Amino acid sequence: MDNSGPAPFLDESSDPTVRGFLHLPNRPNGDGLVLTHGAGSNCGSPLLVAVAEVFASKGYAVLRCDLPYRQQRRTGPPFPGNADRDRAGLRNAVAAMKKHVTGRIFLGGHSYGARQSSMLVAGEPDLVSGLLLLSYPLHPPRKPDQLRTQHLPKLGTDCLFVQGTRDPFGSIAEIDSALQLISAQVKLMPVEGAGHDLRFKAEVSSQSLANEILIAFESMFG
């Protein structure tokens, strides 16, 4: 494990600014990962911290970043009309990460962050080398007819989806069906018994799932 710990990160060279924490590995492999959070959370969520620590231990530079709406206010969900700005913040985060790595850059997020990451890359296929999408919110709970799949046919970037088998935002069968819309290589990693939080509660987090995610990620992206 990287013993140096994450450092606070702030890049004000562009608007929206990029704010979060940067994990620099002791033995870098040259690649980087930008991670962002769900609608009710921030970049300090136990899930993102655990994933960042495990990836950094294997040589990845990892930037956990707060989306622009979270930089503006500490609590509350994003405003629907501000999604474009949140995606711009992710684009800027990728640009900031390019200053710290020489190899590939990957983009990932949890829930709302996963959706905005996939929407951004659907419009900019050369932005990153791959996507790590945790608990993709395929539809609102109990509203399976309100699918969030309009951009998926335009997604030409390889993706790893990690989904709990008890996620009310999309069952494994529903996610698997939606993935057929994507022309790029996709892989679905089910997490047995997990809900939308992938079993990462605020009180406790485990590195076991983060390690499994890393294994699945490296088996796909090499």
Domain contains 141 = yes
**Tell me, what's the pLDDT at 2?**
43
Burial of 142 (0-12, 13-18, 19+ CB in 10 A): exposed
Domain contains 2 = no
User: What Rg value do the Cα atoms of the chain yield, rounded?
Assistant: 16
- Mean pLDDT score of the chain, rounded to an integer? 94
* Nearest CA among 111, 141, 115, 139 for reference residue 42: 111
> With 50 as the cut, is the pLDDT of residue 3 above it?
no
CATH number (domain holding residue 148)? 3.40.50.1820
> With 70 as the cut, is the pLDDT of residue 90 above it?
yes
**Which pLDDT band holds residue 207 (cuts at 50, 70, 90)?**
confident
**Tell me, what's the pLDDT at 214?**
98
> With 50 as the cut, is the pLDDT of residue 1 above it?
no
* Angle ∠(185,107,120) on CA atoms, nearest 5: 85
* Nearest CA among 34, 43, 44, 47 for reference residue 195: 47
Domain contains 1 = no
| Domain encompassing residue 65 | 7-221
CA atoms of 218 and 35, how far apart (whole Å) = 16
Domain contains 200 = yes
* Nearest CA among 75, 82, 150 for reference residue 118: 150
In this prediction, residues 16-22 reach a mean pLDDT of: 98
**Tell me, what's the pLDDT at 202?**
54
**Tell me, what's the pLDDT at 204?**
57
Domain contains 56 = yes
**Tell me, what's the pLDDT at 200?**
79
How many structural domains does the chain have?
1
Domain contains 87 = yes
Q: How far apart are the first and last CA of the chain?
A: 20
Is the separation of the CB atoms in 128 and 160 below 8 Å?
no
CA atoms of 137 and 196, how far apart (whole Å) = 9
Residue 12 neighbours by CB under 8 Å, 6+ apart: none
* Nearest CA among 78, 12, 7 for reference residue 39: 78
**Tell me, what's the pLDDT at 205?**
59
Q: Does the CA dihedral 116-118-119-123 come out positive or negative?
A: positive
**Tell me, what's the pLDDT at 122?**
98
In this prediction, residues 150-172 reach a mean pLDDT of: 97
Domain contains 43 = yes
CA atoms of 113 and 135, how far apart (whole Å) = 10
